[in-house]
Structure 1
Amino acid sequence: MMDSQEKTLEMGNQEEMNKVESTPVTAAEPATEGETPQVATEETEAEAAAEPEYKKHYATKKEVLDRVREIAHNEEAPAKDEVDYLKTVFYKLHIAEREANLKSYIDAGGDPESYQIAPDEDEEAFKAEMGIIKEKRAKIFKEQEEEKEANLKKKLDIIEKIKAMVTSPEEANKSYQEFKALQQEWKEIKNVPAAKANELWRNYQLYVEQFYDMLKLNSEAREYDFKKNQEIKLRLCEAAEKLAEEPDVISAFHQLQKLHQEYRETGPVAKELREEIWARFKAASTVINKRHQQHFEQLRAKEEDNLARKTALCEKVEAIAAEENKGASDWEKHTKAIIEIQAEWKTIGFAPQKMNVKIFERFRAACDDFFGRKAEYFKTLKETFKANAEKKRALVEKAKALQDSTEWRSTSDKLIALQKEWKKIGMVPKKTGDQLWAEFLGACNHFFEARNAANSGQRSEEHANLDKKRAVIEKLKAINAETEGNVQEMVQKLVEEYNSIGHVPYKEKDKVYDEYHAAIDKLYKELNISVAQRRLNNFKNKLKSVAEQGESALDNERARLMRQYETLKSEVQTYENNLGFLNASSKKGNSLIDEMNRKVQKLKDDMNLLREKIKAIDAENK
């Protein structure tokens, strides 16, 4: 029977042994046609990370398709890992090709909403070959399961035969050769259903050891058998211990499974060595199992870190997509930022399997939302550009129709109005905009150059007129109350000369106008005071001769002066009323007001003179 300590050790190591027995090499179910290939288990992900031989580089879809055809039509059993890898590579190349075609279409000016994906013969051929592989793998899987069931039945039959030998101790020696044949047959039978493997092995081991314990062989044969088994198990211990140096953790774990299988199939050793050898084998196995466990813990931690990084990238894209885009520059700036994030995404490995698809769908949804709205914006912008181009093209035609006109002032106003209207029109594509602007500017320049050439002589005449008006102003400034001759007549001639001079340059018009009226106003003021004083003195000198004619003569003169005063007063009121109705918004209107103000002032000066004369008469009457 199995030693009680070995049984205890076996039970204590059950969890590790279950890992070995529960993971036989089988053909997994083929992936569903059309679904995205993914790493199905932790082990396959780790094997992918180790870059096995089948993970060669494929540059084109045709290369992948050729390998798939080879697998589909040869006699080898399709390896699930390679088939999944080929499917992933094919669709990666397929999607990249499709996106490149879409980009080329858009860059060529195509409408993204009108784009249609063309049928792909390579994809159809790929699906057909994958269907063959799927059927092939399903058939192999079924055959393997049937073979496992048959192997189970065979091994159960062997256990029953050994069990029968154990119940007949007296026949044990005679049955020894049959027993060894059954052991060899057991080794030659391969996989059984994983669910039955542990229990099957325990029953087999139980009856094998019971047979050995009651076997009445001579000590030499018994010791030889034990020694042979000991050599095998020590070799297995050494092989298991050496696996600790294997850099490939996954390979070491799979090799350990094979060592455990061989260990189980090897017969017992001497009772006193069973615990020691098993403990050694178990210790070596524990090292490999711990490395295997730590590897997947690190892998899971890395996947969690990848999930956190991908979640952060999703949040960045969502934040960018939520920002307002005020113009094409904003769209391009945000596009560049999202493309950089997409490039960073590609450098991050898998997230945990249950979240890998979800996080990608979230990322893709945020990107699709942004680029969908961008496409709509530029579609609208394109229509706006087209409308703006038509408006500018119409202005070009109007400008060309006016470019040969010789009506300088009215045409200048029209072209200036067209230029203002041009500025109000929005943007157009640069190439079209440059062409239209060149045509529009050319028409405007053609007209203004012709106008400037025609007006060059006029400008010379205006500068000459300016010099003449300034000469008149200097003559007015030189006149004063002491000037000999008839001052009023001199001033009147200069005023007439000034008014007869033509236009001056537009920029100098206001300045010379102000200088002229300043000189006139000052001169009139000085002359009115001087003349009025001389008149009053002459009147006073003549007043005595009038008084000699009698008192009635002075009264008559006073009455005459009063009538003149009232007449002047009435004229002043009329002028002042009229001034209230004049508009001084223009230079012409302002000039008229200045002239009337001077007349009013002259009338008021005359009224003051009349008052002084009346006062002189009143003084003489006293």
Structure 2
Amino acid sequence: MMDSQENALLQGAQEEQNVEQTAVEQTAAADVQQVENTKVYKTKQEVVDRLKEIVASDEAPVKEEIDLLKTVFYKLHIAEREARLKEYINGGGNPEAYQVLPDETEETFKAQMAVIREKRAQIMQQQEAEKQANLEKKLEIIEKIKAMATSPDEAGKSFGEFKELQQQWKDIKNVPADKANELWRNYQLYVEQFYDLLKLNSEAREYDFKKNLELKTKLCEAAEKLADEEDVISAFHQLQELHQQYREIGPVAKELREEVWARFKAASTVINKRHQQHFEDLRAKEEENLARKTALCEKVEELCKTDNKGAADWEKHSKEIIDIQNEWKTIGFAPQKMNVKIFERFRAACDDFFGRKAEYFKTLKATFSENIEKKKALVEKAQALADSTDWKATSDKLIALQKEWKTIGMVPKKLGDQLWQDFLGACNKFFEARNAAGAGQRNEEHANLEKKQGIIEQLKALAENAAEATREKVQALTEEYNKVGHVPYKEKDKLYEAYHEVLDRIYKELNISTKRRRLNDFKANIKNVAKRGEEALDNERGRLVRRFDQLKQEIQTYENNLGFLNASSKKGNSLIDEMNRKVQHLRDDLELVRQKIKAIDEENK
């Protein structure tokens, strides 16, 4: 039966094996992380070249590296294919007619991967066969030691053979993983039994125990030093090698076995905890990276939903997305199962934004071209009018061109500034010439304004003193007023109101009707018109005749409407009264026009 020290030793061995099995996946993940951190493949050809190196090498392909190469290749492959499709569509191609062309690099990649898979399968078969052979050899050794351990009388004689069997055990390496624990327990069991039954002399036994103690003490020291190793992964691998050596060293004195194992186990626990903590930290960091990358995806997706009202908005949001892309590059890997998915989500959002931006600017370019042609046409029209001396007509035309300019959309800034300078220069050239020509006229208009204001003041004085207000005085002042030329345009309406307001007051005092006054004013003004020539009077008479006919037509229309209302309308007398007043007003105007025509005819006699 095994004592408590032997149980502790076997229990420790079991814990070591469990640690090894637990570490397999962690170590593989660390290898992937290390490969990713140490080598970056920028092109598919670099990946294919690395595969060719692996095929040509005698070393066994590392699964983690092969998986990484496959992932990187198809990332690059898909990115290239999408870029070609995008270029095809931007060039005006029909997406439904697009065909994916064969890729020679992909075919080479697949061929190399097939060779590697075959090579790995062969290696695995060889390794399994070798492990099975090693298992058979170790089982034979156990049986031999078992026979020695169960023959107390022969134990001392077979010590040399026993040591040789131990060496053979050490020389035999890997066995099937599912048999390793049971195999080692049986081996250790019968080794311990052999030592317990061994009837060597005390000196030889103590020497062997002492030698094993020295070896295991060195292993304990080596394990304890691994606590200072900065590379946690390397420290863990070195610890596994120390455990393998510990197993292969024979026992120490019975009273020291538990103490030595406890020391070795304590040093191992430190390394194992650091190793475990490393992967926990790594997983936590990857989860943090995933959260940060998810937040960046949401930012880009939100920007994609934003309504871009113009080129400035597109450029502003483009800069924001580029900043987000730069931030993305600073973030490490997300958990392996999410790393590709989160990248594809981010890339899809970015592609959506920049695809719509490209389409917008493609449309904007066509709009710019149309706006450029419109503004060039306006520049040419303005330049053609720049030297005109027809001040009124040309002013109206240029003002209309300026209003039309404002309705035309944007053009590229540099060209737009140049077109605006050309257009503004043509407009300024005309208006500066017009202002220079009109400077003397404005002085005359201001002088006329002062004259008419003086006459209005005289009329106001007559209105205040009704006794002095005779028709002759008023007529003389109105004639004098009418002889004065034009006044500034801005003052014309105000002056007109003041003039007629005071005349209305005077004529009211003189019991002269407004229409009679207007006729008198007209008669007084006819003399001024006559001075411009007979043609001027004829033009005025023609205008009045047309006005006479127009008034007759309006009166007839109102009278027809009145007849209709009298016959069938139920709207009441108020509407009829209003229309009657309107008809009477038109008749008065008609009579006034007739009198004006008569006055012109008398002037022509």
Q: What amino acid sits opposite 1:190 in the alignment?
A: K
CA distance in 2, matches of 1:9, 1:512: 123
- Match for residue 351 of structure 2? 368
TM-score, normalization: structure 1? Answer: 0.69
Shift in Å, 1:498:
1.9
Q: What amino acid sits opposite 1:289 in the alignment?
A: N
Give CA deviations for 1:147-177 in whole Å, capped at 9, x if unaligned: 3333333323333333444455554444332
Shift in Å, 1:292:
2.1
Q: What amino acid sits opposite 2:375 in the alignment?
A: K
Change (3 A) 1:23 1:491: closer
- Match for residue 190 of structure 1? 173
Number of matched pairs: 522
CA distance in 1, matches of 2:463, 2:302: 84
**160, 165, 175: which one aligns with 1:177:** 160
- Match for residue 323 of structure 1? 306
Q: Relative contact order, CA 8 A, sep 6+: which one is greater?
A: 1
- Match for residue 259 of structure 1? 242
Give CA deviations for 1:373-419 in whole Å, capped at 9, x if unaligned: 33333333333333333333333344344444444333322322222
Give CA deviations for 1:40-87 in whole Å, capped at 9, x if unaligned: x533555687x7999379999999988777666555556667777888
Q: What amino acid sits opposite 2:205 in the alignment?
A: R
CA distance in 2, matches of 1:389, 1:416: 20
1:507 lines up with 2:512 in the alignment: no
Contact 1:162 1:208 in 2 (8 A): yes
- Match for residue 586 of structure 2? 581
Shift in Å, 1:144:
3.8
Change (3 A) 1:582 1:508: farther
Change (3 A) 1:301 1:479: closer
Shift in Å, 1:262:
0.6
Q: What amino acid sits opposite 1:497 in the alignment?
A: E
Contact 1:47 1:250 in 2 (8 A): no
Change (3 A) 1:455 1:143: farther
Q: What amino acid sits opposite 2:585 in the alignment?
A: G
Counterpart secondary structure, 1:350: coil
Contact 1:112 1:375 in 2 (8 A): no
- Match for residue 43 of structure 1? 27
Query: What root-mean-square deviation, in Å, do the aligned CA atoms of Structure 1 and Structure 2 show?
Result: 4.7
Change (3 A) 1:177 1:435: same
1:295 lines up with 2:278 in the alignment: yes
Contact 2:54 2:61 in 1 (8 A): yes
Contact 2:382 2:398 in 1 (8 A): yes
Contact 1:481 1:527 in 2 (8 A): no
- Match for residue 540 of structure 1? none
Q: What amino acid sits opposite 1:154 in the alignment?
A: K
- Match for residue 20 of structure 1? 20
Give CA deviations for 1:500-523 in whole Å, capped at 9, x if unaligned: 333222112122223322343344
Q: What amino acid sits opposite 1:307 in the alignment?
A: L
Change (3 A) 1:366 1:56: closer
The structure that is helix-richer by fraction is 2
- Match for residue 3 of structure 2? 3
Give CA deviations for 1:308-359 in whole Å, capped at 9, x if unaligned: 3333333333333333333333333333333333333333333333333333
- Match for residue 372 of structure 2? 389
Give CA deviations for 1:261-288 in whole Å, capped at 9, x if unaligned: 0111111223332222222222222222
- Match for residue 524 of structure 1? 507
Contact 1:395 1:440 in 2 (8 A): yes
CA distance in 2, matches of 1:328, 1:156: 80
Q: What amino acid sits opposite 1:491 in the alignment?
A: V
Change (3 A) 1:89 1:189: same
CA distance in 2, matches of 1:404, 1:99: 59
CA distance in 2, matches of 1:577, 1:114: 71
Q: What amino acid sits opposite 1:518 in the alignment?
A: E
CA distance in 2, matches of 1:142, 1:454: 107
- Match for residue 610 of structure 1? none
CA distance in 2, matches of 1:321, 1:89: 28
User: Whose radius of gyration is greater, 1 or 2?
Assistant: 1
- Percent of paired sites with the same residue: 70
Shift in Å, 1:187:
1.1
The gaps in structure 2 that reach 5 residues or longer are 513-579, 597-605
- Higher mean alpha-carbon deviation, 321-330 vs 470-479, is at 470-479
Change (3 A) 1:379 1:480: closer
Contact 1:459 1:505 in 2 (8 A): yes
Shift in Å, 1:201:
1.5
Change (3 A) 1:165 1:23: farther
